[in-house]
Amino acid sequence: MKKTVLFVAFFLTCFCVLAQKNKTIRVPLSADKWTFANQKVEFFQEEGKPAMKIMPGSGQVVAKNLDFSDGTIEYDIKFLTPGFASTYFRWKDANENESFYFRSGRAGNPGAVDAVQYAPYISGVNLWDMLDHYQTNATFSLEKWNHVKLVLSGAQMRAYVNSQEQPTLEIPRLEGNTTTGSIAFDGDVMISNLVLKPGETEGLSSSAGIDPTHHDPRYIRSWAVSQPVTTPKNVDFSADFFPKPEGSWEVISAERRGLINLTRKFGKSETRRFVWLKAKINSATAQKKRIDLGFSDEVWVYRNNQLVYTDKNLYGAPIMKEPDGRISIENTSFLLPLNKGNNELLIGVANDFYGWGIIARIEDLEGIEIQPDPTFDSRMVKVSDQVLNAYAGRYVQANGMQITVARENNALKASGDNISPVMLYPESENKFFLKDFDAQMEFVKDATNKVSGLIIYNNGRQVMEAKRAD
């Protein structure tokens, strides 16, 4: 008898859970059920059915007391003017959510490849420019109501526009940070017949679909990344941006399609920022390899401290890359010269517009090995504070020109007559190198072991000598 009661209780519990899971929810389109800006939303009857009219500039109109994760979202939408019209789901707040949106000006143009798009919001940044493969054409109208169905299942989504059978857009991996949340809308639109069907996923797998680059070993998927710095106004690039010995590095791994997603790593910024990505390439021979590079928005590529490529991918500017200023492996390609042995690949990335990051792919891996390099410079050695302090001082050349050497953390800084300030890093106890040029400074001592002067080399040849003056 006890077992029978337990079985009945278990059956009823499962039945209630299943019934709740498959319950259809008609979301009321009334002012008390939504959060919105005053005077920006109207609620009324349209063709005998409740409707919500959202005005331009309303911001997001968010459903109250709603938590929706997996299942089906269906609604009718009518575009009042050409523009953007977004549906947000798994909405935590304006910073973290998922979105599916129309560029309604593409209505009636079945050849437009960007009529609809999926994009996540991460730290308040819409990653539309990082995920151009999540957009497509769609058949919809400006004059009539259009029906939309979104099917969410774990990591995947299917979006249907004016069709119940053929998906308009399939998302094998939802890229946002949220897994559950409310529903929201924005744009100059009317919404009607909003229905949620929790748990109804139409057999869509909850696991992420395959990454089309997963089996391609040519992508550089692991880098060392520096901490970002805010760039001064009106400064495009400066030697001051170069990594410092005391700077910290972390290893960052690529997301799908080889994307190094700096937005997810460092969040949103209201100002332009700059960061370095670094890898070590060991080459069996001296050779050149073509590298395909996607980037957003600006890059400076150095190989062994020599600039080999720089470019900009600025949306809306003549210099923007295909496709349409978005990050893609199609953005650019160039030849990367490699010496025999270890090569340092250093890529500076700057950004102040939506998402930022890179995608890098080597033409082939024959004769090379690639790994992240979270060190400042393999040539640099550690010397004592006493040694660094001993080199600080004033030096005079035979022509009277002066050079001043100052201690700066674990390095030295040299400046003087007709010499711009440069950083010097120790490669031995008495020899220091410049990171940006093939130049070294060697300190010499007298018979009493006191620092008596310095010698400057360029490309291995002595070019200057100066005597200690203090």
Q: Do residue 336 and residue 413 come from a single domain?
A: no
For residue 334, what are the β-bridge partners?
291
Give which of 73, 365, 399, 389 is closest to 221, Cα–Cα: 365
Q: Do residue 190 and residue 240 come from a single domain?
A: no
State the Cα–Cα distance between residues 296 and 65, nearest whole angstrom: 38
Q: How many CA atoms lie within 13 A of 104 on its CB side?
A: 22
Q: Do residue 49 and residue 185 come from a single domain?
A: yes
Q: Do residue 123 and residue 23 come from a single domain?
A: yes
For residue 362, what are the β-bridge partners?
291
State the Cα–Cα distance between residues 82 and 109, nearest whole angstrom: 13
What are the pLDDT digits (tens) for 406-436? 998 888 999 988 777 888 999 999 999 987 6
Q: Residue 309 belongs to a domain with what CATH number?
A: 2.60.120.260
Residue 377: inside a domain, yes or no?
no
Cα dihedral 62→78→193→52 (10° resolution): 50
Q: Do residue 281 and residue 312 come from a single domain?
A: yes
State the Cα–Cα distance between residues 414 and 405, nearest whole angstrom: 5
SS (H, E, C) 337-362: EECCEEEEEEEEEEECCCCCEEEEEE
Q: Do residue 186 and residue 268 come from a single domain?
A: no
Please give the DSSP secondary-structure letter assigned to residue 228: P
For residue 345, what are the β-bridge partners?
279, 303
Residue 369 DSSP SS3: strand
Q: Do residue 340 and residue 396 come from a single domain?
A: no
Structurally, the chain folds into a number of domains equal to 3
State the Cα–Cα distance between residues 354 and 297, nearest whole angstrom: 9
Q: pLDDT value at position 16?
A: 38
State the Cα–Cα distance between residues 322 and 429, nearest whole angstrom: 50
Q: Which amino acid is at 111?
A: G
Q: Residue 121 belongs to a domain with what CATH number?
A: 2.60.120.560
What is the residue range of 430's domain?
A: 385-468
Q: Do residue 97 and residue 166 come from a single domain?
A: yes
Q: pLDDT value at position 21?
A: 52
- Listing DSSP states for 229-249 in one string gives EEPPTT----GGGSPPTT--E
Q: Do residue 417 and residue 325 come from a single domain?
A: no
Residue 21: inside a domain, yes or no?
yes
Q: Do residue 114 and residue 163 come from a single domain?
A: yes
Q: pLDDT value at position 2?
A: 45
Residue 3: inside a domain, yes or no?
no
Collect all residues with Cβ–Cβ distance below 8 Å to 147 and sequence separation of at least 6. 74, 75, 76, 77, 160, 161, 162
Q: Residue 425 belongs to a domain with what CATH number?
A: 2.40.128.50
Q: How many CA atoms lie within 13 A of 375 on its CB side?
A: 10
Q: Which residues of the chain have pLDDT under 50?
A: 1-20
Can you say how many angstroms the Cα of residue 308 is from the centroid of all Cα atoms in its chain? 23
What are the pLDDT digits (tens) for 2-42? 444 444 343 333 333 333 455 899 999 999 999 998 889 99
Q: Do residue 357 and residue 430 come from a single domain?
A: no
Quick one: CA dihedral 175, 180, 182, 183, positive or negative?
positive
What are the distances in angstroms from CA 270 to CA 230, 353, 364? 10, 9, 39
Q: What percent of the chain has pLDDT over 90?
A: 81
Question: If 0-12 CB within 10 Å is exposed, 13-18 middle and 19+ buried, where does residue 195 land?
Answer: middle
Q: What kind and span of H or E run contains 19?
A: helix 2-21
Residue 214: inside a domain, yes or no?
no
Residue 291: inside a domain, yes or no?
yes
Count of other CB atoms within 10 angstroms of residue 462: 11
What are the pLDDT digits (tens) for 127-174? 999 999 999 999 999 999 999 999 999 999 999 999 999 999 999 999
Please give the structure tokens belonging to residue 343.
Answer: 């090569």
Count of other CB atoms within 10 angstroms of residue 253: 10
